[in-house]
Structure 1
Amino acid sequence: MGIHDIIEGKKQWRAHMARVKALPPDYQIVYKELQKYFFKVGPVDLPDGPLLPGIVDFFEEGAASGKGVLELIGDDVAAFADDLIKDSNTYAALYQESLAKKKGTAEK
């Protein structure tokens, strides 16, 4: 990864966050909580994948139609987040697998 790629990535991230800041306050709160959660459990393709921009697109459409964020995603934000990444390979799953492998080799 060269310096040009880093600079371009920062530009894209700033543009993405500008879109988030343009959302209504309730949407921003939910987005930031989703973002924190995804950064913790980490879908492996999160930095380059379509997940976060897709959420912003979805939220922009909901805000434009006048819906509240909970009308869009439901009352259980955690269930919504888990459903978005249910088929994704996550760092949390990889860690669990590595622990299981270590446990299996330790018993031999």
Structure 2
Amino acid sequence: MGIQDIIEGKKQWRAHVARVKALPPDYQIVYREMQKYLFKVGPIDLADGRLLPGIVDFFEGGAADGKGVLELIGPDVAAFCDDLIKDSRTYAEVYQESIGVNPGADGK
């Protein structure tokens, strides 16, 4: 990864953050909670994927239609996130595989 790639990545992230900040306040709050949740348990390729920008696209459409954020995703934000990543490989799965493949590696 060269310096140009890093610069381009920062530009893209700043544009993404600007889109989030343009959302109504309730959408921003839910987006931030979703982002925290997904960074904790989400897919390995979250930073490189289209998931977060796709969520913003979805939210922009809902806001344009005058819908509340919970009308779009339902009352359980974590369940909505889990449904989004149900077919993705997660850090938790990688960890479980690593301890299952090499049991007793901790020296016990």
* TM-score of the pair, normalised by structure 2: 0.93
Gaps of 5+ in 1: none
Partner of 1:89: 89
CA offset digits 1:55-95 (Å, max 9, x no partner)? 00000000000000000000111100000000001111101
Structure in which a larger fraction of residues adopt helix: 1
- Which range is displaced more, 93-102 or 61-70? 93-102
Structure 2: which amino acid aligns with 1:71? E
Report the Cα distance in structure 2 between the residues aligned to 1:17 and 1:105, rounded to whole angstroms.
Answer: 41
1:45 aligns with 2:45: yes
- Which range is displaced more, 96-105 or 32-41? 96-105
Report the Cα distance in structure 1 between the residues aligned to 2:15 and 2:105, rounded to whole angstroms.
Answer: 47
Report the Cα distance in structure 1 between the residues aligned to 2:42 and 2:87, rounded to whole angstroms.
Answer: 13
Partner of 2:35: 35
How far did 1:31 drift? 0.4
How far did 1:100 drift? 1.5
How far did 1:30 drift? 0.6
Q: CA RMSD in A?
A: 1.4
Identity %: 79
* TM-score of the pair, normalised by structure 1: 0.93
Report the Cα distance in structure 1 between the residues aligned to 2:44 and 2:78, rounded to whole angstroms.
Answer: 19
State the aligned residue count.
106
How far did 1:103 drift? 2.2
CA offset digits 1:27-51 (Å, max 9, x no partner)? 0011001101111113111111110
Partner of 1:26: 26
Partner of 2:71: 71
Gaps of 5+ in 2: none
